[in-house]
Amino acid sequence: MQRTVLLTDYAWPDNQIERNIIERAGLQLISGPATPATPEAIEALVRLHQPAAILTCWAQVSAAAIASAPRLSIVARLGVGLDNIAVEAATARNIVVTNVPDYCVEEVSDHAVGFALAWTRGLVQFDRAVRAGQWEPSSARLRRLSALTCGLIGYGRIGRATARKLGAFGCRLLAHDPYMTADAEGIHRVTLERLLDESDIVIVHAPLTAGTHHLINGARLAQMRRGSLLINVSRGGIVDTDAVVAALESGQLSAAALDVLESEPVVPADLLAQPGVMCTPHVAFSSDAALAELRRRAAEEVVRVLRGEAPHHPCNLR
């Protein structure tokens, strides 16, 4: 019997890269909707098709979905974070969970630096003003990036890439990461409290876990320098959106640059009403090169595991 791979959803125009790799290996690809379906709809697809592998982008792969697929060998994330997969349920059944941890390092770090430059140079603010018929160069209150302190919450692959790029501008760099044991070249390892207190720009590069949910809340925003910038290109749930709105309204934050939201794709109206907000629709990971690499490597990981080979990036089984 031909084994089936279920592609739950995909954030690109077609599934051709995935289909070519899966079918060339003698497997059958079944695609769910491009837009993520509900967990219940995914569970129904799993019950119907009984896949040997699941490829998922944004859709939730629940414990119930995993339990209903007795032949399931792998759940492969088309991305980095695993917060949409019931990893513990997979581990309990010896099902490997994989991701592609390094496909978008350059893109996400570029996005973070782009947000920082947009703020220091007023790019979004002045574009909006000019489109509204205003031409007021005397209103500029711009900043020199090299004179600022940038704090990185998370110093993994992407955090290190962001530090390398910001370092080229000459700014002072701080980092907080529980796995960072010493200063790195040009980077001072500090406590989270010190990072918030001393940074003009705070950039979130942390994973979403039970311990990091709402890590940036009202109390921590109050610790930041008044008039500073918060950038989140990681996961929306790390930042308390209501607290950010309050900090913008009070002037504690002058701006917030958010590629991710805890409520996405719904964007709260009170957030959009803040002139200091820059929002992009969870696209920091995206480029033509990154997406092609992501799709190829995730599909190849599925083929590898179904052939009985060891995955390159296991996240739960070693």
- Collapsing DSSP to helix, strand or coil, 232 comes out as strand
Domain 105-279 fold: Rossmann fold (3.40.50)
Active-site option among 160, 220, 235, 297: 235
Q: Answer yes or no: same fold for 4-103+288-306 and 105-279.
A: yes
Which of 19, 106, 121, 264 is catalytic? The answer is 264
Tell me the pLDDT tens digit for each residue of 215-228: 999 999 999 999 99
Mean pLDDT, residues 97-112? 97
Q: How confident is the model at residue 35 (pLDDT cuts 50, 70, 90)?
A: confident
- The whole-number average pLDDT for the span 79-102 is 95
Q: Of 282, 297, 300, 301, which is the active-site residue?
A: 282
Whether 264 is a known active-site residue: answer yes
Residue 252: pLDDT band with limits 50, 70, 90: very high
Given a cut of 80, whether residue 1 has pLDDT beyond it is: no
d(CA 50, CA 78): 20
What pLDDT, on a 0 to 100 scale, did the predictor assign at position 197?
98
* Helix spans in 148-268 (H): 157-167, 192-198, 218-223, 241-250
Q: What is the pTM of this model?
A: 0.90
The full set of domain ranges for the chain reads 4-103+288-306, 105-279
In this prediction, residue 94 has a pLDDT band, given cuts at 50, 70 and 90, of very high
What percentage of the chain has pLDDT greater than the value 90? 95
Q: Where are the alpha helices (DSSP H) in the chain?
A: 16-24, 39-49, 63-67, 87-92, 105-121, 123-131, 157-167, 192-198, 218-223, 241-250, 269-272, 288-306
Query: Check: CATH 3.40.50.720 for 4-103+288-306?
Result: yes
Q: For residues 126 and 144, give the distance between their C-alpha atoms in angstroms, rounded to a whole number.
A: 17
Residue 235 appears among annotated catalytic residues: yes
CB 209 within 8 A of CB 81: no
